[in-house]
Amino acid sequence: MSEVIIEVKNLSKSFGSLEVLHNISTTFQRGEVVSIIGPSGGGKSTFLRCLNLLETPTSGSIFFEGTNLCGKGVDINLHRQKIGMVFQQFNLFNNMNVMKNLTAGPVKIRKMSEAEAQERALALLEKVGLADRSDAFPYQLSGGQKQRIAIVRSFLMEPDVMLFDEPTSALDPEMIGEVLGVMKNLAETGMTMIVVTHEMRFAREVSSRTIFLDQGIIAEDKPSRELFDHPENERLISFLKKVL
């Protein structure tokens, strides 16, 4: 039934003498929405950034749709097209307006016609309630608007999986809802999502599975409700006490 989309095998990552990830192994199924929670400095973001090789693992391998991304002769650019990523700091291209931000990838990489890319971009902008902002530049947008556009930009590449690196952490509280709303809709379409987040409500209610990453290892990994209702790991229990 289920199909493995990403398999992580014995992943370790060190920055100098600091080991951030220690021998992590796990798998992600197609269509799964997985939240990764844990204290800061626990390695959540590093783990996520290893999945599309924005960080190069020190050892171990990452299989994406059967290909070992860390293998020799792998064209990472090709695979990254299928792995969308949404950043904490949005990272919209500051030198392009919204429409160009959205169509650059589809047109230049996917060789889609400019007209078709614009049409699709506009349809999605409509969906996230920003159809009137297509000519705006990033500096003219609020954080929440930027992040919704960043999600659309990533989605327009038709990725097989989308990675979210603390997508709401840089937002003002009143804007968090609009971004989570978009992510929730995305989850309902069946998109495979891996989300590093501090939004415990999102983890519990939207994601099917939650991973507690702490001190460089997966300390607990369960269906979300179970993890939140019956945490076993002691550090998870104290973490949940602090954040809930």
Partner 1 sequence: MEFIQTIGLLLQRYSSFFADGVRNTLVIAAFSVLLGTLFGVFMAIARMSKIKPRKIIATVYIEFIRGTPLMVQLMFIFYGLPMVGITFPDIAWIPNFSRFAAGIVAMSMNSCAYVAEIIRSGIQAVDKGQMEAARSIGFTYGESMKMVVLPQAVKNILPAFGNEFVTVIKESSIVSVIGIGDLMFRTNDVIAVTYRSLPALAIAALIYFAMTFVSSRLIAAAERKMHHE
Task: Kindly state whether residue 153 participates in binding partner 1, applying the rule CB under 8 A.
Answer: yes
Output the CA torsion 131→147→181→84 (10° steps).
100
For residue 178, give the 3-state DSSP assignment: helix
Question: Binding segment for partner 1 among 78-86, 129-137, 184-192, 208-216 (CB under 8 A)?
Answer: 78-86
Contact with partner 1 (CB under 8 A): which of 10, 89, 113, 185?
89
72 Ramachandran zone, left/alpha/beta (phi>0; psi -120 to 50): beta
Shortest separation between residue 218's beta carbon and partner 1, angstroms = 23
Task: Kindly state whether residue 117 participates in binding partner 1, applying the rule CB under 8 A.
Answer: no
Question: Binding segment for partner 1 among 102-110, 140-148, 178-186, 233-241 (CB under 8 A)?
Answer: 102-110
| Inter-residue contact 130 to 187 (CB < 8 Å) | no
**How many CB atoms neighbour CB 152 within 10 A?**
23
Task: Write out the two tokens for 50.
Answer: 């290893």
Task: Kindly state whether residue 210 participates in binding partner 1, applying the rule CB under 8 A.
Answer: no
Question: Binding segment for partner 1 among 23-31, 82-90, 188-196, 218-226 (CB under 8 A)?
Answer: 82-90
Shortest separation between residue 220's beta carbon and partner 1, angstroms = 28
Number of H helices, E strands in the chain: 9, 10
Task: Write out the two tokens for 213.
Answer: 């990453």
Task: Kindly state whether residue 98 participates in binding partner 1, applying the rule CB under 8 A.
Answer: no
Task: Kindly state whether residue 157 participates in binding partner 1, applying the rule CB under 8 A.
Answer: yes
| Inter-residue contact 197 to 164 (CB < 8 Å) | yes
**What's the sign of the alpha-carbon dihedral 175, 91, 139, 107?**
negative
Task: Kindly state whether residue 114 participates in binding partner 1, applying the rule CB under 8 A.
Answer: no
Residues of this chain that bind partner 1 (CB under 8 A): 52, 54, 77-78, 80-81, 83-85, 87, 89, 91-96, 104-105, 108-109, 150, 153-154, 157
